[in-house]
Chain A
Amino acid sequence: MHTVATFSIPYVGYLDEDGQLSADAPALAADNDLILDLYRRMSFLRFFDTKAVALQRTGKLGTYASCLGHEAAHVAIGMAMRYEDVFCPMYREYGVQFVRGVKPRDVLMYWGGDERGNDFSGPKHDLPWCVPIATQCLHAAGAALAFKLRKEPRVAVSVVGDGGTSKTDFYGAVNSAGAYRLPYVGVVVNNQWAISVPRSAQTGAETLAQKGIAGGLHCVQVDGNDAIAMLAVMREAIERARVGGGGTVVEAVTYRLSDHTTADDARRYRPEDEVKNAWAREPLKRLRTLLEKRGLWDAAREEAFKAEANAEVDTEVNAYLETRTQPVSAMFDFMFAELPHDLAAQRAEVLRLEGGTHG
């Protein structure tokens, strides 16, 4: 017997829980403007997320999927991508999308029950939020295939959770990305829980990153609460994909500090201690500590930024709350490029019921 193949999964992390940067940190860690930008975006995201949950609790928003604790992973993905790349999210990656130009009001519109949130202000070629699990991985691989066939230097990035790596679609994306050598980066935001099912019950695999090995992709596990490591890993993966070096599975190890959605109560299945310990590793605090150590941030600046960010969130919330419901005809108007005869009849029927006041 002899060994025909061996593999290893590197783990990348530079900034620890105490805001201490390791000696092997990449050059970008020294770029103070960049780190400040990362921190501000992450912080804004948390203000937004807190507000969105509050809106749901007060009946002003439908079910909402919080991104609490994922700020580093999400913002870093967004900052590593170029505008022309395509982003294929699941349903809580607002941090990526805000970097790409999606407005908070778009997110609120979507969870507030209005499809116009999916016609968002970000890149028109990005996919909207995807509720079925992991299907977006294959759509990203398909987009990457289109880029490769058209010889466009663009990269497709999908995000899936730890539970999503159990799905056929995730394996299909990894496999086809390997087979066609596609410019595809599949990020697994491993937040440890697929609603109530822990990561340990999802798979016998030691890491989720290694699932990419089967498809012949580069694979890396990264501290998903370390924005510097996330950004470095994502930049490397995306640039490798862009120049024809093949796809990557990035497993971002993080933690879901919130419930799965506002319709969930994680206290029923998740030990309190675990959550408490996870708060000690959360992404914002460690970046803030680093900035404070460098003299770039303090309580006053934090307060000023908080006021500014909350004002912006309020503006977005008001824009959402003031948006009038679509006319009932909107149900039909986007089903097809041209309305078929049967739908035209149904549209007319609804308009009759509405008293012909919409159109």
Chain B
Amino acid sequence: MAEVTLIEAVTQALAYEMRQDPSVVVLGEDVGVNGGVFRATAGLHAKFGSERVLDTPLDETTIAGLSVGMAFQGMKPVAEAQFDGFIYPMMDHIVCHAARMRTRTRGRLSCPMVLRAPWGGGIRAPEHHSEAPEALFAHIPGLRVVIPSSPARAYGLLLASIRDPDPVIFFEPKRIYRQYKEEVPDDGEALPLDVCFVLRDGTDITLVTWGAHVKETLEAADRLAAQGISAEVIDVATVKPIDFDTIQESVKKTGRCVIVHEAARTGGIGAEIAANLAEKSLFDLLAPIERVTGYDVPIPLFRLEMKYLPSVDRILAAAQRTLAYR
């Protein structure tokens, strides 16, 4: 069994599904011969040819619109937005059409497409290359929003997303594209969508996160453990719809919750999770819920970038404030 990075797991999942389902096509800017600027589609053009791996004209609106057009005619386009910041021109087609095709036609037509994008900051990229717009898409009825946090989950969740009969926004945390390798069997086994993954059991505090910040959050949990504090770590993975049951179960046990995300704070997914806990788990809580998030500013250029992103220290400080309630 091969050890692969997160981005290699993405490529592997695309290749697997293209082999077994002829209606799956990959399209985007530079995804063909070049294999994508991050190399997510590396080798696919050679394997499947230019009728399955399509370089598109350089227009994000076109990529999204063509994908909707292919999808409502029964193909399964997997479109790539080259960078998260280039996804905004695509939103009209995703929001006004992909997300509501099934319901507005009372089930006559659907839009089984996946829109993949490298997501988030931390790679010293130019302006508009480090966005975390998951809450924008999560707010839209009719979309699933999925963010893997490891090679195995990237493989399994991407397969599930392509097989899903409805549109899925699949954000790939680019900061950890090549951070480490793990064994991922290329067996076509999908992971379930719409569920959280409990990465570490704990009894004293619940740490909830997704994407690249799973790393910092697990590290914070390690450091809390060194202080004798048992932290449960939850990877949300599907940020719409969220598996609140798993989060509530955890908070019932721990009574404390810190939510970590790199997107801006206001209206973020953290607010949604906190609101849900306030509605459903208020009397399980021993302390106010804390959010450790990006700030309500565009992600700064790289000199200040790491000051924006939640750090292990910020997570620990929030955890300590929460634990101070007795």
Residues of chain A whose beta carbon lies under 8 Å from any beta carbon of chain B: 86, 88, 115-116, 118-119, 124-125, 127-128, 132, 135, 137-147, 149-150, 156, 168-169, 172-173, 175-176, 179, 330, 333-338, 340-343
Q: Which 9 pairs from chain A and chain B are nearest by CB?
A: A142-B69, A138-B65, A172-B62, A142-B66, A342-B241, A337-B165, A139-B69, A119-B106, A146-B73
Number of interface residues of B (CB under 8 A): 47
Interface pair A135/B93, CB less than 8 Å apart? yes
- Nearest residue, chain A, Cβ from B112: A337
For residue B242, CB closer than 8 A to chain A, the reply is yes
Q: With the chains together, A79 CA to B109 CA distance in Å? A: 24
Report which of A86, A88, A128 forms a contact with B105, defined as CB distance below 8 A.
A128
Q: With the chains together, A202 CA to B105 CA distance in Å? A: 32
Interface pair B65/A169, CB less than 8 Å apart? yes
Residues 249-269 of chain B, each 1 if its beta carbon lies under 8 Å from chain A, else 0: 000000000000000000000
**A135-B97, A172-B57 known; A143-B107 Cβ under 8 A:** no
Residues of A near B142 (CB, < 8 A) are 335-336
Known pairs A137-B65, A341-B245 / 14 extra A-B pairs, C-beta < 8 Å? A86-B73, A115-B105, A116-B106, A118-B104, A132-B96, A135-B97, A139-B65, A143-B73, A175-B57, A175-B59, A176-B62, A333-B107, A340-B194, A340-B241
Residues of B86-102 contacting chain A, CB below 8 A: 89, 92-93, 96-97, 102
Minimum C-beta distance from A217 to chain B (A): 14
Interface centre among A88, A168, A336, A337 (most CB of B within 10 A): A336
Q: With the chains together, A118 CA to B104 CA distance in Å? A: 7
Interface pair A147/B73, CB less than 8 Å apart? yes
For residue B103, CB closer than 8 A to chain A, the reply is yes
Residues of B near A173 (CB, < 8 A) are 62, 65
For residue B152, CB closer than 8 A to chain A, the reply is no
Q: With the chains together, A262 CA to B142 CA distance in Å? A: 30
For residue B323, CB closer than 8 A to chain A, the reply is no
Minimum C-beta distance from A269 to chain B (A): 27
21 A-B pairs whose Cβ atoms sit less than 8 Å apart in the complex: A118-B104, A125-B72, A125-B109, A127-B109, A135-B92, A135-B96, A138-B64, A138-B65, A139-B65, A139-B97, A142-B72, A143-B73, A145-B70, A146-B70, A146-B73, A147-B73, A149-B75, A169-B92, A173-B65, A341-B241, A342-B242
Residues of chain B whose beta carbon lies under 8 Å from any beta carbon of chain A: 25, 51, 54, 56-57, 59, 61-62, 64-75, 77, 89, 92-93, 96-97, 102-110, 141-142, 144, 164-166, 194, 241-245
Minimum C-beta distance from B184 to chain A (A): 26
Q: With the chains together, A330 CA to B106 CA distance in Å? A: 8
- Nearest residue, chain A, Cβ from B69: A142
Interface pair A175/B194, CB less than 8 Å apart? no
Q: With the chains together, A175 CA to B58 CA distance in Å? A: 10
Q: With the chains together, A88 CA to B68 CA distance in Å? A: 12
Interface pair A176/B57, CB less than 8 Å apart? yes
Interface pair A334/B66, CB less than 8 Å apart? no
Q: With the chains together, A118 CA to B101 CA distance in Å? A: 10
- Nearest residue, chain B, Cβ from A215: B57
Q: With the chains together, A156 CA to B66 CA distance in Å? A: 12
Interface pair B102/A335, CB less than 8 Å apart? yes
Report which of B65, B164, B194 forms a contact with A172, defined as CB distance below 8 A.
B65
Minimum C-beta distance from A156 to chain B (A): 7
Interface pair A336/B166, CB less than 8 Å apart? yes
Interface pair A168/B61, CB less than 8 Å apart? yes
**A138-B68, A139-B72 known; A169-B61 Cβ under 8 A:** yes
**A149-B25, A334-B102 known; A141-B51 Cβ under 8 A:** no
- Nearest residue, chain B, Cβ from A158: B69
Interface pair B72/A127, CB less than 8 Å apart? yes
Q: With the chains together, A333 CA to B59 CA distance in Å? A: 34
